[in-house]
Chains A and B, each alone.
Chain A
Amino acid sequence: MAARTRYAPDRGLTVRMTATMFLLGLVFVAFVAAIIAIGAAYHASSAAIVLFAVVLGGGFAIGSLFYSDKIALRTAGAVEVGPNDSPDARRIHGIVDRLCALADMKKPRIAIADTRLPNAFATGRNADHAVLCVTTGLLRSNLDDAELEGVIAHEMSHVAHKDVQVMTAASFLAIIAALLIRIAFYGELFGGGRGRGGNNQNTAIIMFALMAVSIVVYAVSFLLIRMLSRYRELAADRSGALLTGQPSALKSALIKVSTDMARIPTQDLRAAEPLNAFFFAPAMKLNAKASLSTVFSTHPSLERRLAELDKVQQQLGRTAGPGR
């Protein structure tokens, strides 16, 4: 018997996320086709270079996935804590225990990073290696318990959605393209000086073509990855709010954290930027050029996130009905 449920998947979000992933796949296919075409056109094999880039890029992606928890914790300067280490640790462990029991999830490890930036992130290659990290800035901020729980539920949704794996897989193409640009660039630089007659000219053209294709692929996939990242954030907001049943608490947490973030000095922000993709709220200062910054940002705008949470609120507030 199917239990009665208030849950309804967000069709719009599903469609947009599917479209983004489809486009990423399309870019990948086009990339492969272009490389084959380049090789065929000049009767030369660019396979060795491409294979080298794929192996190196693959190694890099798998490595960063495998060590994602350690890398992120090291970068953030976070320390893993047990439930009895401090009152803060006890508070977070208590919240996470309950959310895990509610969502039937394995409990992630908990870490605290000593930074003034009020933020949180979750990482780790799978549920067994997941780490949830909150900053002291978040614990010292004016968030109440319900709002802090909203932030933690959002991060736990990232773990449940396997966002680290999905984003690593999505970034694979961009990593390879970036490597090829570099290889082709140096190939052009050093390949030109050797002077082996006609063959030399051919190599230069192949290198140039490879570089041009890679640059285009890199730019397009970069935009698509950012787009996917924004949809994953919205999905995590949604799941987190459904889990706690309190979308309003998450909304007020988002507003508080975003306004606090704008007040933090810029030097702190630059140091935190590499971690942006994992954060609850982006650490970059968004300036007046809103249209451009939304295309490049890893997180959706505050307004967008609040609007999506309004939908969840309506969904939860409806009087009981069949599952739709």
Chain B
Amino acid sequence: MGFLDTLLGRTKPVQPKLDDLFALPSAAVTLDAGAGFKPTGSGSVCFRPVEGRSFADVQKDVQELLDLSSGKEGGLPVEVTKDSYGFNWLVSSRMSDELDALVTDLHAVNTSLVDNGFGPQLLCTLVAFTDDQERRLGLIYLYKRGTFYPFAPLSGERRDNALELQVKGVIGSDLKFEPDLSRWFPVWGAPGL
């Protein structure tokens, strides 16, 4: 924020950074090789809905677009859930080996929102992973930072910090990781995880 903006008390909404999301499929290979975590095929985009007709229309269009593309290939329809913080999660479920298609789905959501001027509403995207011991791991992409961080929930709203740091060690060089640990915020009960 510039000096003039400070003086005049205004904040311009932050536009999302989208490109780094495409590094995910190759990092997933490293993650499997290094830590034994495989994608579950589920991924979601979390965004802040805006009140009014305009945003509702855009969201409906995105949903129809994704349903159309996944329906052709016999996939599941996308799901929209609202969390307790008032954010919407658009969940796309693919086969576990279709990570490329999943990322394309997620990117379709991003571009639709950005094209309609709702880019600042994008919060994060989450791609779910799991290992042989059924441990859950989410890789979260922060749109405004263009960075990733891991989130490993345990039962009772606790985090497996050791696993998260292990994951950072394995794929930290493949993905742009969020260096500020205070921004690794938990997303309890995130759909698809």
* Contact indicator B144/A102 (Cβ below 8 Å): yes
Given contact pairs A104-B144, A157-B11, A97 touches B1 in the complex (Cβ within 8 A):
no
Q: Which of B109-143 contact A (CB under 8 A)?
A: 114-121, 123-124, 142
21 A-B residue contacts at CB 8 Å?
Answer: A5-B12, A7-B12, A9-B10, A94-B85, A94-B185, A94-B188, A100-B183, A101-B183, A102-B48, A102-B121, A107-B182, A149-B86, A157-B11, A160-B1, A161-B10, A162-B6, A166-B9, A245-B51, A247-B51, A248-B51, A320-B117
How distant is the Cα of A5 from the Cα of B12 in the complex, in angstroms? Answer: 10
B residues 54-88 with Cβ under 8 Å of A?
Answer: 54-55, 58, 84-87
Rounded to whole angstroms, the CA-CA distance of A259 and B85 in the bound complex is 25
Bound Cα distance A21, B4 (Å):
12
Task: Let me know if B85 and A149 touch, CB within 8 A.
Answer: yes
Chain B residue with Cβ nearest A2: B15
Chain B residues with CB under 8 A of A104? 14, 144-145
Q: Which size class do B's interface residues fall under?
A: 35 or more
List residues of chain A with CB under 8 Å of any chain B CB.
Answer: 3-7, 9-10, 13-14, 17-18, 21, 94-95, 97-98, 100-104, 106-107, 145-146, 149, 157, 160-163, 165-166, 231-232, 235-236, 238-239, 242-248, 313, 316-321, 323
Q: Chain A residues near B117 (CB, 8 Å)?
A: 4-6, 320-321, 323
Q: Residues of A contacting B52 with CB < 8 Å?
A: 313, 316-317
B65 to chain A, nearest CB (A): 16
Q: How far apart are the CA atoms of A17 and B7 in the complex, in Å?
A: 9
Say how far A139's CB is from chain B's closest CB, in angstroms. Answer: 15
Contacts of B85 in A (CB 8 A): 94-95, 98, 145, 149
Contact across chains for B9 and A98 when beta carbons are under 8 A apart: no
Residues of chain A lying within 8 A (CB to CB) of residue B12 = 5, 7
A238 to chain B, nearest CB (A): 8
Chain A neighbourhood of B145, CB < 8 A: 101, 104
B184 to chain A, nearest CB (A): 9
Q: Besides the contacts A4-B114, A94-B85, A98-B123, what 12 more A-B pairs have beta carbons closer than 8 Å?
A: A4-B115, A7-B12, A17-B7, A21-B7, A101-B142, A103-B144, A104-B145, A107-B183, A161-B11, A239-B9, A245-B49, A320-B116
How distant is the Cα of A4 from the Cα of B109 in the complex, in angstroms?
16
Which chain A residue has the least Cβ–Cβ distance from B180? A106
By CB atoms of chain B within 10 A, which of A161, A238, A313 has the most? A161
**Cross-interface CB contact of B121 among A14, A245, A248, cutoff 8 Å:** A245
Q: In the assembled complex, how far is the CB of residue B1 from the closest CB belonging to chain A, in whole angstroms?
A: 7
Chain A nearest Cβ from B130, distance in angstroms: 24
**Closest chain A residue, CB of each to CB of B117:** A6
Report the 9 A-B pairs with minimum CB-CB distance, sorted nearest first: A235-B9, A317-B52, A97-B185, A245-B50, A104-B144, A6-B117, A161-B9, A3-B15, A320-B116
Q: Inside 8 A of B183's CB, which chain A residues have their CB?
A: 100-101, 107
In contact, A3 and B119 (Cβ under 8 angstroms): yes
Q: Could you say which of B1, B6, B51 contacts A166, with CB atoms under 8 Å apart?
A: B6
Scan B138-180; emit 1 where CB is below 8 A from any A CB, else 0: 0000101100000000000000000000000000000000001
Which single residue of chain B is at the shortest CB-CB distance from A5? B117
- Shortest CB-to-CB span from B188 to chain A, Å, is 8
Establish whether residues B7 and A101, one from each chain, have CB atoms under 8 Å apart when the complex forms: no
